[in-house]
Amino acid sequence: MRLEKYIATSGIASRRAVKKSIQAGLVTVNGESVLVPGHPINVETDAVEFEGKPVEPLTEHIYLMLNKPPGYLTTRSDERGRPTVMNLVRELPESLYPVGRLDLETEGLLLFTNDGDFAYRLLHPSHEIEKTYLTWVHGAPNDAAIQRLREGITIPSGTTAPAKVKRLKASKDGASTQFEVVIHEGKKRQVRLMFKAVGHSVIRLKRIRIGNLRLGNLPQGQYRLLTSAEISELMLL
Active-site annotation holder among 103, 115, 117, 173: 103
H/E element, 229? helix 228-236
Instruction: Report which residue's Cβ sits closest to ligand URA.
Output: 106
Q: Characterize the bridge pairing of strands 164-170 and 154-155.
A: unpaired
Nearest distance in Å: CB 14, ligand URA: 27
Cβ proximity to ligand URA, 138 vs 189, nearer residue: 189
Nearest distance in Å: CB 147, ligand URA: 20
Helix residue ranges, H only, 74-207: 116-123, 143-151, 190-197
Nearest distance in Å: CB 89, ligand URA: 18
Name the E strands within the chain: 27-29, 32-33, 48-50, 53-54, 63-68, 97-99, 107-113, 131-138, 154-155, 158-159, 164-170, 176-183, 202-210, 213-214, 223-225
Cβ proximity to ligand URA, 5 vs 192, nearer residue: 192
Cβ proximity to ligand URA, 20 vs 187, nearer residue: 187
Tally of CA atoms within 13 A in the half-sphere of 9 that contains its CB: 25
Q: Given the rule CB under 6 A, which residues bind ligand URA?
A: 102-103, 106, 189-192, 205
Nearest distance in Å: CB 108, ligand URA: 9
Cβ proximity to ligand URA, 10 vs 106, nearer residue: 106
What are the angstrom distances between the C-alpha of 83 and each of 74, 102, 117, 182?
Answer: 9, 14, 27, 28
115 is an active site residue: no
Q: Which residues are catalytic?
A: 103
